[in-house]
Amino acid sequence: MADTIYVLNGPNLNLLGLREPEIYGHDTLDDIAGRMEDRARELGLEIDLRQSNHEGHLIDWLHEAQAYGAKAVILNPGGYTHTSIALHDAVKSITTPVIEVHLSNPHAREEFRHTSFVGRAARGTVAGFGALSYMLALEAAARF
């Protein structure tokens, strides 16, 4: 698992490509996964991409990444970014590096999106570059 990067996606990200494309773009999560898998192969890595609308699944997968010795986690917590102390605590509880990723720039949006509990615990954050945010996070994760 040392060559595996978990890519965890939170609520509503299963609707990418359909949900508010003016904010999140037209790429689906499958489109993003395909590009990430291609680039990961070039880097000698594997991607384990998952999505859940349930907070507990994300927490379990963070723990699993640690237990299985994943190289890193790329986490798009979706709306949990701004609300989940539990995700914050889960990120802090593992030594596996976590990179928070967002398609949009939360700081350029509504005030309530300006606080990221996950970002306070993550190694770093990539935001505002649409689907490219995932690729930039992958490039960073490959260097851990």
The partner residues of 76 in beta bridges, in order of sequence, read: 9
Instruction: List the pLDDT tens digit at each of the 144 positions of the chain.
Output: 679 999 999 999 998 887 776 777 689 999 999 999 999 999 999 999 999 999 999 999 999 999 999 999 999 999 999 889 999 999 999 999 999 999 988 776 778 667 889 999 999 999 999 999 999 999 999 999
Identify the CATH number of the domain in which residue 32 sits.
3.40.50.9100
Chain Cα centroid distance, residue 111: 21
| Cβ atoms 125, 116 nearer than 8 A | yes
- Could you give the number of structural domains in the chain? 1
- State both tokens at 137: 């996070």
Three-state DSSP class for 132? helix
**Residue 82 among the catalytic residues:** no
User: Active-site residue among 24, 80, 88, 134?
Assistant: 24
Domain residue limits at 47: 4-141
**Residue 57 among the catalytic residues:** no
Cα–Cα distances in angstroms (integers) from residue 50 to residues 9, 53, 76, 85, 115, in the given order:
6, 11, 10, 21, 24
